[in-house]
Chains A and B, each alone.
Chain A
Amino acid sequence: MTINTCKSTLLFLILFTLVSCNSIPTDYSKLEKTPAIYPDYTAITIPSNIAPLNFCIEEPGTKYCITFSSSKSKGFTILQKSNKVIIPQSKWERLLAENIGNKILIDIYVYNNQWFKYQTIENTIAPEKIESHLCYRLINSVNILWREMGIYQRNLENYDEKPIFLNRSTDLGCVNCHHFNKANPKEMTLHFRKYKVGTIITTKDSIIRLDTKTQYTMSPFAYPAWHPDGKHVAYVVNRVRQIFTSTKSYHDVVFDEASDIVIYDIEKNTVTTSPLLSSKNRENMPAFSPDGKYLFYISAAPKTSDSSEIYSKYDLLMAPYDANTNTIGQVDTILKSKEIDKSISYPRISPDGRYLLLTMCRYSYFPIFDKYADLYIFDLKSKKLSPLECNSPYTDSYHTWSQTGRWIVFSSKRMDDAFTRPFIAYFDASGHAHKAFVIPQKNPAFYKTYLKNYNLPEFINGEVNISDIQLRDLVQTNPKKVKFDEKIDIDGLSGASYIKK
């Protein structure tokens, strides 16, 4: 064989491969079923700025041909032997950008001695974009003996994940309660427990580390809620406990012996409370309305017995709040647990102020261990409470809104009933949630072997610009001591006792 013959053969092979790479099978049998793909990215509504939804085709075959198209554009085709579909980023971005408000069509052909074509997958591209980033904590499935954990931010437009804080360099202390003001990455609060105890608050122009335990509050701060003015943050002070059960569907019950709500004034460095927020009841999970005029929170009756302490149910309450005077008005009960026979947690108000998104579980306020915890939507206008359409038979919890009010993100154990994964769902103008999808990963089989939980996913409008190394160094510094408001004469030790001065 001459060199020229070799070259020609090689050229032919290359051309043949190139041609066959883009050719869609023409001779195939049609199957009247949707192909099994993992993760389930079928019949979903997606934002136009989401990273490619890579997936595995879980149908037996030796070759796979996948076409992405729409009624408006021709799209692109992938032909491969692997069942792992890695979608080219630029082609995906173009397809989505060209089809906002329309459907994209995914046709899957599988070669198993002959070509089979499955039913077309139709996904809708919503008109509204999603925030570019998502913040969450990654932690093992653990109840007491945590070790490594970290707060991370994930770019939803690609697959970049960066740590915001890792506890590895700070004696493995617990870190959580991350929360942002209106998804602003510059306004963040973060809480540390056990080692280097304290709270970090970042504002547009400062970063402070606080020692939040005062003489008149029962614990350091937890469970934050930013006031939209960016100058106040409501926190919970509590004495938390947990018990274990052999109930498969609720093996760990976290509950409070006592809890109060306090409000921290960032500028004055003072913490205040009110007899209404620091009563003998167990107030918890604060959330301000988007206009800042109301404080929503949950409350349970005080402990009267061990059983009442553990199996208590929480009501949903609302109180007017005046940020100028930092005072609370008359409390109103919005939802009574007795009437709905469920315990309420995590009230989160939609940015337009119309809807309240809640998690409801069987008892207590920490629903992540309750298999039957679900998301509920409460229409503040019509006063109608209904379960969210995107719930699953497994734990659905820890939700937040996007700033457009069209997307929600929440933690769900629906993939394997073991690990929480962040799911995104479209929430349409008529108040209905669409089918949820898990945030995509570069490796579509990622969730099959990933042994960490995504805690409290929260949208952010851009990247948090403080590095994990900066925060590591900040945590080593001496914290600023928070002062208890001198004007207040009741304490935050649960029970609103009068302070003798």
Chain B
Amino acid sequence: MIKKVPYYGRWIFFILLSAYIVHFIFFNINPIFIHSAQQTSFYINSSYFDNFLNYPGAIAEYCGSFIGSIYGIPFWGSLVAFAMIILSMIMFYLILSKIYKEKLSFLWMAIPAFLMLSLMQDYYFPPSVFVKAFFLLVFVYFSASFNFNQYVKLFLILILSLSIYYTLGSTILVIYLISILCLDVVNSKQHLKTTLKGLFYIVLLFIIPYLGQKYFFNIADERTWKDLVPVLPPIIKYTETYILNAFIFSLPVMIIFIALIKYAENKFHSEKQSQFVQFINNYSIKPLLGFIVIVFIFLHFLPKQMDLSQKQKVLTAYFVSQEKWEEAINTAIESSDNYDYFININFNRAIYNNGQFANRILDYPQLLGISSFYPDANTTGQITIISSDLYYELGYIGEALHWAYEGLSILPWNQHLLKRLVMCNLIEGNTQAASTYLSVLKDAAWSDGFYDKYIAYLSDTSLLSKDKEIAEKRQFMPNNSLIPNSITHKLKILLAKNNKNQRALEYLAICYLLDHKIGDFMLLYPELKKIYPEKMPQIYELGVILYCYNTDRNLLNQFTFSKETQTYFVNYSKIMKKHKNNKSLAQIELKENYQNTYLYYLSFLSPLVTKMEIKKREVKN
């Protein structure tokens, strides 16, 4: 057995931990998904910066936006996340070293690493919290290193406290003052002085945020001392967990804990140690045990922090935004046991764009029926972007524009929405408005070429008519009509404007089928037949069969059906007959073989059967 861990052992641990962090960030978390979920944008201009001057902690949020925007760049985002964790680990270690003057084990660095990786697994966790935490560590370290007389030190702490309050917010100020108080208590031998200093810190802790809220900053009462997480709309809101509290209080808690260890070591240190204690101290038992515990915790607990349903929702949205349709479809199907409304909407979009719409529509359970084509039925901030996307694809430019405007009110500076506004205005021929949005995008960090492409359209408007996308949308967009409060009516308006709008036609057909409106579906049959002259998707064929069964079975002779559909229909009917048309009895057998089929949907999954409704979401935006 190694009698003592060699000096370089700690560096080996550091490298191993770093390697694990890199691996975890790159392959488990992938900050690009954080960027996709939070839709972070960053601009290099004064009007963007001006938004971050009016309340405590806003400067840190500005830095957080910068980091959040880098998350959107492959590799660099992961590298920045890694750098933030490593730097925080080092600062954390340096602070604890102030107490445990002997060589403190590097194992302690694993604490911030574990907590930060846990937090990052929530894709809505705001990067500004890491910025705040890092600067908290830096300020605590420097405050602990002050080597001035007491009055100068107290004056500097007052100045630092004011700066921390303004730049990092009141919660960080509270943690900062508690941490330096703990350090003073632990390191000082002059109890009276420490008590007085403690009182001074406590006064600062209460007075600064109180006066700040009361007289200087227009912030709500409840954020006087609790402003760690920025105020965000529900669409990107992070829900605080115990891990966040553990993370933010880890510094003062660990200061006290290390001090207690040191105290215990000093108190119980004697030459007459038992053989067992001598064994533990002489051989590398403690660090080895620590290492094993850390490995166990990292490998066992860390991956469990990930909310898989959230991950799949974010991933589906990301793949759709990147037009990676197959990945989006597969991710959605993987998550189909845990139904999600937004995954459903994105799945429907992905299968259409992948050219498999009617054939795969039931591969994801359409538990909310036509609602998955009509997110704006329930007007909240969460549906703005997805509604704008949906209507843009359909060519309903007025609606795409409307929801983009609403979305921009919820998420000002959002680049996706700004680009949408540019496109919609170009399609509508309003180049002046497009120019305003382009001017904003010009200052966006990490340009993707959008600005350069479309700014040319403003100086040479002939490019507008040459652009395929713009030309197509212009043909499809309805004008001069009221926008109805029903998706089927909206789709009909699109078809009335241009019956070549295949997406509108197929969406309408599927809406009718999902809504059990077979008669209305049959009215679209001739147009659908033009799209599928050879072989109709099974769901359409079943719609025709059901129509004939319910009206006049002789009509069946007028249509041709594929063998697969006929076999499926016969087999499905046989199972039903076997169970004497008792749906409940037949369900297990039917589910086994026909879960993703139209007849199963009509009997068991349709919201008209299950009475499933969209939960009323948060009203505030």
Which residues of A does B touch, CB under 8 Å? 139-148, 163, 166, 168-172, 243-248, 251-252, 415-419, 443, 446, 448-451, 468-469, 472, 476
Contact = CB atoms under 8 A, between A and B. Distances in A.
Most chain A beta-carbon contacts within 10 A, residue among B401, B439, B478: B439
A142 B409 contact: yes
B409 A243 contact: no
Interface string B398-440: 1101100110111010000000000001001010110110011
Contacts of A142: 405-406, 408-409
Given A168-B219, A449-B436, 19 more contacts: A139-B409, A141-B405, A142-B405, A166-B218, A172-B620, A243-B483, A244-B398, A244-B402, A246-B396, A246-B478, A246-B481, A248-B428, A248-B430, A251-B401, A251-B402, A415-B432, A418-B436, A449-B443, A451-B440
B558 interface: no
Nearest to A476: B221
Given A170-B220, A244-B483, A443 B405 contact: no
A170 B45 CA distance: 29
A248 B427 CA distance: 11
A303 to B, nearest CB: 16
Contacts of B480: 245-247
B498 interface: no
A251 B430 CA distance: 14
B409 A417 contact: no
Which interface class (under 10, 10 to 19, 20 to 34, 35 or more) fits B?
35 or more
A146 B621 contact: yes
Contacts of B406: 142-145
B379 interface: yes
Nearest to A253: B482
B46 A443 contact: yes
B218 A141 contact: no
Contacts of B478: 246
B45 A449 contact: yes
A236 to B, nearest CB: 25
Nearest to B381: A145
A449 B47 contact: yes
Contact of B433 (A168, A251, A418): A418
Interface in B445-502: 477-483, 493
A244 B428 CA distance: 16
B334 to A, nearest CB: 32
Contact of A468 (B47, B214, B218, B621): B218
B233 interface: yes
Given A147-B621, A169-B220, A449-B45, A140 B409 contact: yes
Interface in B344-363: none
Contacts of A450: 47
Contact of A451 (B214, B384, B408): B408
A144 B379 CA distance: 8
A451 to B, nearest CB: 7
B69 interface: no
B482 A419 contact: no
A415 B430 CA distance: 12
Contacts of B233: 147
Nearest to B405: A141
Most chain B beta-carbon contacts within 10 A, residue among A139, A244, A246: A246
Nearest to B411: A147
By secondary structure, the A interface counts as loop
A476 B384 CA distance: 30
A450 B428 CA distance: 21
A418 B432 contact: yes
B405 A143 contact: yes
A416 B412 contact: no
B398 A246 contact: yes
Nearest to A472: B218
Contacts of B276: none
Most chain B beta-carbon contacts within 10 A, residue among A143, A166, A248: A248
Given A246-B478, A247-B479, A251-B402, A140 B408 contact: yes
B215 interface: yes
Given A246-B479, A246-B480, A418 B218 contact: no
Given A246-B481, A449-B443, A141 B435 contact: no
Contacts of B483: 243-246
A417 B440 contact: no
B379 to A, nearest CB: 6
B367 to A, nearest CB: 26
Nearest to A445: B439
B380 interface: yes
B220 A245 contact: no
A168 B428 contact: no
Contacts of B436: 416, 418-419, 448-449, 451
A417 B433 contact: yes
Interface string B601-621: 000000000000000000011
10 contacts: A141-B409, A145-B380, A147-B412, A168-B220, A169-B220, A172-B620, A244-B399, A245-B481, A416-B433, A418-B432
Given A168-B218, A449-B436, A449-B440, A143 B402 contact: yes
A245 B408 contact: no
B412 A451 contact: yes
Contacts of A170: 220
Contact of B409 (A147, A163, A418, A449): A147
Contacts of B216: 469
Nearest to B406: A145
Nearest to B407: A145
Contacts of A169: 218-220
4 residue pairs, one from A and one from B, having the closest CB atoms: A418-B433, A246-B398, A142-B409, A140-B409
B621 A449 contact: no
A476 B213 CA distance: 14
Contacts of B409: 139-142, 145-147
A251 B443 contact: no
Contact of B218 (A163, A251, A446, A448): A163
A145 B493 CA distance: 25
Nearest to A247: B480
Contacts of A418: 425, 430, 432-433, 436
Nearest to B497: A246
Contacts of A443: 46
A250 to B, nearest CB: 10
Most chain A beta-carbon contacts within 10 A, residue among B398, B409, B425: B409
A10 B326 CA distance: 67
Contacts of A448: 435-436, 439
Contacts of A245: 398, 480-483
Contacts of B384: 145
A246 B483 CA distance: 7
Nearest to A142: B409
A243 B398 CA distance: 13
Contacts of B428: 248
Contacts of A143: 402, 405-406
Contacts of A148: 412
A172 B618 CA distance: 14
A171 B379 contact: no
Nearest to B410: A147
Contact of A145 (B221, B410, B433, B439): B410
Contacts of A451: 408, 412, 436, 440
A415 B401 CA distance: 19
A141 B408 contact: yes
Contacts of A243: 482-483
Interface in B90-122: none
Contacts of A419: 436
Contact of B398 (A171, A251, A476): A251
Contacts of A168: 55, 218-220, 231
A141 B412 CA distance: 11
Contacts of B493: 246
A252 B399 CA distance: 11
A160 to B, nearest CB: 14
Contacts of A147: 233, 381, 409-410, 412, 621
Nearest to A418: B433
